Amino acid sequence: MKRFNFFSCSGRRGLDDSKHGTDRSTRCLSGERGLGIFMVSMFFLLWGSLLSAQTTGPQFGGRFFLDFSSFSLDDSLEMRFPEQGTGGVEFRMISFHAKGKAGKNLSYKAQIAIQNGNIRLQDVYLKVRDLPGLGGALYLGHFPEPLTLSSQVSFNHAVFMERHAVSGYMPRRNTGLMYERLFLHEHLGLQAAVFFDTDGTTGKAMLINQNLHRNVRLSGLLIKRPEKQLWLLAGLAYSQRRPSKGNYTFRPTQSNHLEPKLLSYSVEQVQRVELPTAQLLLIAGPFSAQAEYVKGSIDKLDNPDLIAVPSFYGLLSFFLTGEHRRFKNLNAGLGHPKIKKPFDPKKGQWGAWEIAVRAEQSEIALSESDRTYLREYTMGLNVYFNSQFRLMLNYVLSDVNGRGREQAGMLRLQLNY
């Protein structure tokens, strides 16, 4: 077997639907008909909610992240990336949003962001609450896919400057619809969604070859004692993805956005990608622990062996000043911590201080003997001056298959308004 390049590779194979006993036009037509019936039903449901709606708001806000980074590569990585610099600065994120309500049960949000010099859609959706006969809520538009704990947490409240390795399987947001509901006095949460295979910039997609992504997430609170700031969450999730043109790229999220892309895998003629996920979260006062595992697999046409792309991470965090990570609910995730003493030197107040560590690994396994991994270890310090301004410091050590290492130090100035 041809050896896998541990920095990037691609697979190619011809596509012939007739070998699988299916007709592409028939499959596409049946998928479009079923989706059309569903969308018409959702239209009438929304129309009933809008008849008595009275718009209020909107409220405007935004954020920007200014990042500074310095890093060094060992000889092996320098040979692979000879023109790579030793650091840099960037506006990691600039975004603006408007949100409000259009009646008792209907709310909306429209958010755009500037990332890497491009304007991208972020949250652009309608949310209908208290559905007649069903309860729960329905989202329609462009919003985060329910799969990981990270997807339920805004970048504003992330413990580290970059998300973890299990975020690299798909775009965090997509265009589609989602139903969610809480049961048993908010001890059980359900999210089920269908998404198009959309362009990440415009949200545009074409329905080709039943290229819909299906997600379901079930989570439960094993312990819920808010009076003692104690929560224990466990969850399972699953996503099945069918790329429009049979092309799929797995690129783990790295802890330093300015560093070179150390690991990626692109493959063509993909029939489907499956992503079963397990997740755990503990908040015990100022201490928290969080972990997730994704047993990803890629199924290529005419290839009997699945390509395994598993990832996992674990993190620990602790507030030195006594605050705690704010748990909303099983479906809404985590919010901004309440700062006990906002920064004010005249009053002897120095804000909230949080320390954290994280270990993570992503792997690509073409066979039992042909495996490649990226391991990263991150230490972080977060200083919350108040509810709007935060300073973040991260140190990252990256290891690529034991044959290349990188160290990085990073600083972020974060403002939400």
267: domain CATH number is 2.40.160.10
Question: What is the sign of the dihedral through the CA atoms of 160, 260, 3 and 275?
Answer: positive
| Residue 215 included in any domain | yes
Which tokens hold the place of 297? 């697999």
What is the rounded distance in angstroms from the CA atom of residue 221 to the CA atom of residue 235?
A: 9
Q: What is the pLDDT of residue 56?
A: 66
Hunting for tokens 């295979």 — which residue is that? 197
Joined tokens for residue 128? 């209908």
Residue 55 confidence (pLDDT): 60
Sequence-distant (≥ 6) Cβ neighbours of residue 133 within 8 angstroms: none
Residue 180 pLDDT exceeds 80: yes
Residue 208 has what pLDDT? 60
223 pLDDT tier (thresholds 50, 70, 90): very high
- 120-168: per-residue pLDDT in tens? 888 999 999 999 888 999 999 999 999 998 888 888 999 999 988 888 7
Instruction: Give me Rg for the CA atoms of the chain.
Output: 22
What integer pLDDT is reported at residue 42 of this predicted model?
Answer: 53
Write the pLDDT tens digit of every residue in 275-301. Answer: 999 999 999 999 999 999 999 998 888
pLDDT score recorded for residue 204: 66
Buried b (16+ CB within 10 A) or exposed e, 171-207: ebbbbbbbbbbbeeeeeebbbbbebbbbebeebebeb
The whole-number average pLDDT for the span 214-223 is 96
Domain that holds residue 274: 53-416
Q: In the numeric block, which tokens belong to residue 5?
A: 């390049």
The partner residues of 174 in beta bridges, in order of sequence, read: 143
Contacts of 147 (CB under 8 A, 6+ apart): 169, 170, 215, 217, 237, 239, 275, 277
In a domain? residue 1: no
7-35 burial by CB neighbour count: b if 16+ within 10 A, else e?
bebebeeebeeeeeeeeeeeeeeebeeee
In a domain, 180, yes or no: yes
The pairs formed by 308-311 with CB atoms below 8 angstroms and a separation of 24 or more are 308/363, 308/364, 308/365, 309/169, 309/250, 309/265, 309/362, 309/363, 309/364, 309/365, 310/362, 310/363, 310/365, 311/165, 311/166, 311/168, 311/169, 311/252, 311/360, 311/361, 311/362, 311/363
Q: Which residue has the higher pLDDT, 196 or 313?
A: 313
User: pLDDT-derived band of residue 210, with 50, 70 and 90 as boundaries?
Assistant: low
Length of the chain, in residues: 417
Please determine, for residue 374, whether its predicted confidence score (pLDDT) is greater than 80: yes
pLDDT higher than 50, residue 10: no
Tokens read off for 336: 């901004």
CA separation for the pair 274, 279 (Å, rounded) = 16
Cα–Cα distance between 400 and 406 in angstroms, integer? 9
Is 364 part of a structural domain of the chain?
Answer: yes
pLDDT of 342 > 90? The answer is yes
Segment 341-361 mean pLDDT: 96
User: What pLDDT is stored for residue 254 in this prediction?
Assistant: 84
Would you state the pLDDT for residue 45?
54
Residue 52 confidence class, pLDDT cut points 50, 70, 90? very low
Could you tell me the pLDDT band of residue 114, with boundaries at 50, 70 and 90? Answer: confident
Query: Is the pLDDT score of 89 beyond 80?
Result: yes
Number of domains forming the structure of the chain: 1
Tell me the pTM. 0.82
Best CA proximity match to 94, nearest among 72, 117, 75: 117
Q: Give the pLDDT of residue 300.
A: 83
**Distance between CA 253 and CA 102 in Å, rounded?**
37
